[in-house]
Amino acid sequence: MNVVMLVGEVTDRPFRPGNGARTVVKIKTKGAGGTPDHFEFDAFGQPGDFGARLFVGDVIAITGRLEDRTYTEDGEQVTELRIVAQFIELVTRAGDRAGRHGSQGGGAHAEPAHHDAD
């Protein structure tokens, strides 16, 4: 089974490199000992569209998978391990933190909070 689940705060404005088929989102989670861990993940389709509308400071939950990618850069073969989000859920909007209710952030959001890949 290849499943990754993360909850974290968006640290940079999501962006769509190249032809815009992929959205890249960077988040910060609470690591061991309270030090932050930083992750970058890719999202495509509906999760990608949703990810592109996130703001710095939003708290999100993602479920996805790890994916090996190999490409050539400057004549060298590069292999990287990427996180690909299949579901993205908005837990708390950046500006809603002061008024949040309960552990999941509560409150209504202007857009659907759960998006999955086709």
- Give pTM, 2 decimals: 0.76
Do the beta carbons of residue 15 and residue 48 sit within 8 Å? no
Span 90-104, pLDDT tens digits: 999 988 765 443 333
The structural domains of the chain, ordered by start, are 4-116 (2.40.50.140)
On the question of pLDDT at 12 being above 80, the answer is: yes
Span 39-74, pLDDT tens digits: 999 999 999 999 999 999 999 999 999 999 999 999
pLDDT of res. 15: 94
* DSSP assigned state of 115: E
**Spatial separation of the C-alpha atoms in residues 112 and 110, rounded to whole Å:** 7
pLDDT of res. 98: 54
